[in-house]
Amino acid sequence: MDRLNGLLAFARTAELGSFVAAGQALGISASAVGKSVARLEQELGVRLLQRSTRRIGLTEEGRLFNERVRRILDDIEDAEAMLSRTRHTPHGRLRISTPIVTYHLLLPVLSEFMARYPEIELDIDFNDRIVDVIEEGIDVAIRSGELPDSRLVSRPVAAFRTILCAASSYLDQYGTPGTPADLAAHFGIHFRFLNSGRLLNWPFMTGSAAPQIRSMLTCNNMEALKGATIAGLGIACMPDFLVREALHEGKLRTVLDEHVDGRGQFRMLWPSNRHLSPKVRVFVDFLAERLAAGR
């Protein structure tokens, strides 16, 4: 039991970055957390945490150890959930990592999920950075594009389309392009990926010549991109669910629809090395059902 307490103290400290926060999460004093971690380091004969006056961080050995510890603790939690006879509904904290823009998809359905599973605590990180699902202890990640990590299992959750659109005021001033070549007389607003720094390609159909367009603005936030487009600064490429309301209200209009093939797919990802816990299973099943039905 002392060894397990040490692992819990270490894992919470690694996650939260301080003995005080870890103690609050575990319901014990910061001093008790520090002593448990110190005993664990002494038993292992290696320093796991790098202490400083501002924050506690992981050593390289601590980072590797934390990855394995998170798997062990997750497996224990899964086993407890499966064997428990006193609970009839999934429970516990569910850590989710998802792109910022997906709040347009998730927020309309999360209230229903929370009402159905009130004992699950959702901890959602809306962030466009690439995360290591296993190392960072993420239960479910939602991503689009290439999924090269063979340690993960994926399931489709929501199809979408990227489209070209502009404000009515902009099109009234500069005209509506009829072909990709007409974009040479227009201004473009571009999205830059936070991790790679590359620009989002505009999804013209195969065989179409790469259009030339003057860049008016480049940014790494889709909400800012949408705002600049509504303000009439130029033509932009965005996912359909992000601009659905603006299109309905007439703030934006699509252009070059017959020349664009912007089909995309969001997927849910989770580690392949262990069984789905009840909380993960119900979340995955719920989103797959609700977001597919909402298209």
DSSP per residue over 230-271, as a string? HTTS-EEEEEHHHHHHHHHTTSEEE--GGGB--EEEEEEEEE
Q: Name the percent of the chain lying above pLDDT 70.
A: 90
Q: How many Cα neighbours within 13 Å face the side chain of 294?
A: 17
Residues 43 and 51: their CA atoms lie apart, in Å, by 18
> How far is residue 254 from each of residues 104, 131, 203, 238, 242, measured CA to CA in Å?
19, 33, 14, 10, 13
Look at residues 201, 176, 190 and name the one whose alpha carbon lies nearest to residue 228. Answer: 190
DSSP per residue over 149-202, as a string? -TTEEEEEEEEEEEEEEEEHHHHHHH---SSGGGGGGSEEEEEB-TTT-PBPPP
Residue 127 pLDDT level (bands cut at 50, 70, 90):
confident
Q: Is 253 left (phi over 0), alpha (psi -120 to 50) or beta?
A: beta
Name the average pLDDT for the chain: 86
Determine whether domain 159-264 maps to CATH 3.40.190.10.
Answer: yes
Residue 276 pLDDT level (bands cut at 50, 70, 90):
confident
Look at residues 109, 102, 104 and name the one whose alpha carbon lies nearest to residue 141. Answer: 102
- Write down the domain spans for the chain: 1-86, 159-264
Residue 1 pLDDT level (bands cut at 50, 70, 90):
low
pTM more than 0.85: no
Question: Is 241 or 210 the better-scoring residue by pLDDT?
Answer: 241
Is residue 294's pLDDT more than 60?
Answer: no
How large is the average pLDDT for residues 131-146? 84
Is residue 293's pLDDT more than 60?
Answer: no
> How far is residue 200 from each of residues 13, 144, 246, 287, measured CA to CA in Å?
38, 13, 21, 26
Is residue 86's pLDDT more than 50?
Answer: no
Lowest mean pLDDT among 4-18, 59-73, 144-158, 183-197: 144-158
Fold classification of 1-86 is Arc Repressor Mutant, subunit A (1.10.10)
Are 252 and 53 a contacting pair, CB within 8 Å? no
Q: pLDDT digits over 224-273, tens only?
A: 999 999 999 999 999 999 999 999 999 999 999 999 988 889 999 988 76
Check if 1-86 and 159-264 are the same fold.
Answer: no
